[in-house]
Amino acid sequence: MKPALLLIPGMLNTARIWGRVTPLLQDHADVRIAHVQTQSSIAEMARDAWARVADVPPSQPLVICGFSMGGYVAIEMIASCDRPIRATAFLDTSCRPESTEGVAAREKTIAAIERNFEKVIAGMAPFSVHSGSQADPALMDDILSLLREVGAETAIRQNRAIIGRADHRDLLARLQMPALVMCGRDDKITPPALSEELAVLIPGARLEWIEEAGHMTPLEQPERVATLLKTLL
C-alpha cells in the first residue's frame, strides 16, 4: 500500500505551488493537497487539512509536508493529531511564533497590500527566488500569476492568521517521528537559520539544503524537493 502524502501550500499559494513536484511523486504516494486560501486561522487550516485525509485508513501510512506557512499548518496538525502520522517534512518554514517585530512588519505589509497589491507582488516575486531563477522568464511569470490568482483579500487574511499562530516548540522538542527539514540555500523570506533551529529542536530531524533556490523551492527545484520527499515515503 502506497503511503498517503499531504502537501500543504504556503501563503499566497494554491495547489499550483506543488504542480512541478506532484508528477514526480504519483508513483510513490497517494498525493493530496490541502487548501489554505479561505480560513482565518492556522488552526482552521489544520482542521481542513485533516479533512483532506479523513478517508485514509489507519493502516495506510500518512506523511505530511508543509511549505512556508504550510509548515505552521503541519505543526498545528501534529498538535491536534487526529490519527498517527508516519513522518513529517518541513520546507522553508519556521517553528517560531510571531515576534513583536514580525507583527509590526506584517501590519506594514497588510497596509501595502491594501494600497497596491500589484506593486507588492511585483517586489515579492524576485525577492522570493534565487538570483538564477530571476533569469527564467517563464518561472517568474508563473510565480506572479500564482500570487495574483490568490489575491489581496486572501493575502491579508493569511498574514493575520500567521500573526496569531500558536507556539508549539515544546511539542516539537518531544516529537517522536521521522522529520525532514528542507530549505533553499538562498531563502531570504524564511532564512536558513530558521530551518537549522527547527532541525535542532526536533529529536533526530534531518536537515537538507536545496541549492540554487530561494524560498520558492517547489517551483525552483522540484526534482530535488521530490527526491527528498521520496526518502520519507
Query: Which pLDDT score is estimated for 101?
Result: 95
pLDDT at 222: 98
Count Cα atoms within 13 angstroms, Cβ side, for 221.
24
The residue to which cell 513522518 is assigned: 87
The terminus-to-terminus CA distance of the chain in angstroms comes to: 11
Its pTM surpasses 0.75: yes
| pLDDT one digit per residue (tens) for the chain, 233 residues | 899 999 999 999 999 999 999 999 999 999 999 999 999 999 999 999 999 999 999 999 999 999 999 999 999 999 998 789 999 999 999 999 999 999 999 999 999 999 999 999 999 999 999 999 999 999 999 999 999 999 999 999 999 999 999 999 999 999 999 999 999 999 999 999 999 999 999 999 999 999 999 999 999 999 999 999 999 99
Cα–Cα distance, 218 to 201 (Å, whole number): 24
What local confidence, expressed as pLDDT, does residue 82 receive? Answer: 75
Superfamily of domain 4-98+160-230: Alpha/Beta hydrolase fold, catalytic domain (3.40.50.1820)
Describe the strand order of the beta sheet including 87-91 as a list of residue ranges: 30-33, 4-8, 62-67, 87-91, 179-184, 206-210
CA distance 147 to 183: 21
DSSP assignment of 146-212: HHHHH-HHHHHHHHHHHHT----HHHHTT--S-EEEEEETT-SSS-HHHHHHHHHHSTT-EEEEETT
Domain boundaries along the sequence of the chain: 4-98+160-230
